Structure 1
Amino acid sequence: MISATLRHQRELNLGSAGRWDDFAGHRRRVTDLILGHRTGRPSSRLVVLGAGNCNDLELARLLAGFADVDLVDIDTEALAGAVRRQRLPDGARLRLHGGVDLTDPAPDRLERLSRGDVVVSTTVLTQLLDVALQAGATGPELLTVRDDHLRLITGLLAPRGVGMLVTDVVSSDTCPQLRTTGTGGLGPLLAEVVNGGNFFTGANPFAIERWLSTSPDLRLDRFGMAPPWRWDIGDRSYLVSALAFRKQAEWRTINAAG
């Protein structure tokens, strides 16, 4: 029996599979940000959560920048189709992890993933929140979904690895001025929609940064937020934010304990 999460994700993936061109600017921005956070380790590994169709990832560039790339998604067919569409050569250092439900990732499936030097969630947070909302989740329950996803990212990080959360914050459905706002005005617009409460529940990047920075058990430091950008898809636009954070080295934990 197909789960509600898989059904929802397949519908989204099927709807966007042929929209490669609509993702061009967004794809370039996401890929550049990921590559900008490489740690420089010879055996560096990238883990992408919610990879789906990979329309927002330039896989060839990522494979040139990392020793290994792991793509994780609930939709196995979407991952396989993504590799075919981007025409990667045989033997590419790419591992596909399909069937992983990020709303409730099974420990045995997560154990197949090596720790990543960079672990990124690519606009999947609001999809997870939407699934929970359709199941009747309330505001506090939605924040629990968000926090669990953030813990998943940090839990997959190697010491001194960098986590990234890329998420859409609001759409032009409720913020029509987004369609005509220039690049320089997107930062003030992000502050305006957040202050006005006009954003997807759980996707406030400032609240996410506060939660991450005040959760001592996560042991994170060096937070940074990229300038927001607009992602145009047909007659709808999304305001996108990207937050990066680094996991502390394990020796700090040892010294603190001893």
Structure 2
Amino acid sequence: MNSLVQRQIAFNLNSSNAWEAFSSHRSQVTWLLKHDTDPSRLCILGAGNCNDLDLTTLLQSHQEIHLVDIDLDALAQGVAKQNLANQGHIHLHGGIDLTGMLDLMSHWSPKVTLSKTDIAACIDAPTHCLEQLPGPFDGVASTCLLSQLIKSIVDTIGEDHPQFVTVIQAIRLGHLRLLLKLMNPGGFGVLITDVVSSDSYPPLPTVPTQNLSQVLVQLVRQGNFFHGVNPAAIVNLFRQDPVLSKQVASLEPVGPWRWNFGPRHYAVIAVKFQKK
């Protein structure tokens, strides 16, 4: 099996029993994904074992929920743990590579020189999954997936590779464009991403909630955050990219909030947006 896929499966296994620890994070994510207008179709990318999704609550405002992940077993087990295995309004889409590049990336190394075609593919290849999903959807969410996609680049070519920044920027842009392509006109999108963890900032679990935003700003200024997920850079990309900016009607940054993952804590932010 592809080593990058194996890594994601192992990540899902490590958090499979963390339902209780995810409680406050799950409440925040679920609140962001609720929809108060007409019954809609919601697609969630990177749903994994669904620990960060209260599916019963989401079914109250969505006629259909489509859960997407590379790991079908994690999706199935996550839905079953919420006693919704036979719920006809929840649809599982496993085995889907949301980069469209994992097979190729698994052969990359710190010594490889990437071509312009490789870089362009990081932006364009995610659209391959459009044929595998019954879109477009009224709502599309990416739930702490972006950092995992970028981690695949860290694990292959490494942070010291001369093209590292270029590649992670391409991965990020491809992911944001995919979200818009999956959405109906007038639909809503939510990009949720972890930004920094207690591994690099040990005091994170004890930072008062009212101070979390200020602390995160300071950490970003110091360069203490995961590659490619600077909140300001993400917002600017929505506003400045010639493809994204023409499609986005509104943007709303949300957070940060704290995610108790068990062995570590994360600071998490979201960007809500609407498609024209």
Structure-to-structure mapping, 1:1-258, within 5 angstroms: 2-35=1-34, 38=35, 40-42=37-39, 44-88=40-84, 90-104=86-100, 105=126, 107=128, 110-136=131-157, 138-218=164-244, 219-248=247-276
CA contact (8 A) 2:79 2:85 kept: no
* CA positional deviation for 1:145: 0.9
CA contact (8 A) 1:100 1:106 kept: no
CA contact (8 A) 2:136 2:182 kept: yes
* CA positional deviation for 1:206: 1.0
Distance in structure 1 (CA, Å) of the matches to 2:20 and 2:131: 32
Task: Report the AA paired with residue 60 of structure 2.
Answer: A
* CA positional deviation for 1:39: 6.1
Between the two proteins, the alignment pairs up a number of residues equal to 244
2:37 aligned counterpart, secondary structure: coil
2:84 aligned counterpart, secondary structure: coil
2:274 aligned counterpart, secondary structure: strand
The unaligned stretches of length 5 or more in structure 1 are 249-258
The unaligned stretches of length 5 or more in structure 2 are 101-125, 159-163
Distance in structure 2 (CA, Å) of the matches to 1:150 and 1:193: 24
* CA positional deviation for 1:187: 0.9
Task: Report the AA paired with residue 115 of structure 1.
Answer: P
1:217 aligned counterpart, secondary structure: coil
Distance in structure 2 (CA, Å) of the matches to 1:63 and 1:39: 12
* CA positional deviation for 1:108: 5.9
* CA positional deviation for 1:177: 2.4
In the alignment, which residue of structure 1 is the partner of 2:105? none
Please give the TM-score of this superposition, normalised by the length of structure 1: 0.90
CA contact (8 A) 1:39 1:117 kept: no
Distance in structure 1 (CA, Å) of the matches to 2:197 and 2:145: 15
Instruction: Decide whether aligned partners of structure 1 residues 147 and 214 sit closer, same or farther in structure 2, where only a CA change above 3 A counts.
Output: same
Instruction: Decide whether aligned partners of structure 1 residues 19 and 88 sit closer, same or farther in structure 2, where only a CA change above 3 A counts.
Output: same
2:22 aligned counterpart, secondary structure: helix
CA RMSD across the alignment: 1.5
Distance in structure 2 (CA, Å) of the matches to 1:108 and 1:225: 27
* CA positional deviation for 1:111: 4.3
Instruction: Decide whether aligned partners of structure 1 residues 13 and 176 sit closer, same or farther in structure 2, where only a CA change above 3 A counts.
Output: same
Instruction: Decide whether aligned partners of structure 1 residues 24 and 208 sit closer, same or farther in structure 2, where only a CA change above 3 A counts.
Output: same
Distance in structure 1 (CA, Å) of the matches to 2:237 and 2:2: 30
Share of identical aligned residues, percent? Answer: 41
CA contact (8 A) 1:5 1:101 kept: no
Distance in structure 1 (CA, Å) of the matches to 2:127 and 2:73: 19
Instruction: Decide whether aligned partners of structure 1 residues 135 and 183 sit closer, same or farther in structure 2, where only a CA change above 3 A counts.
Output: same
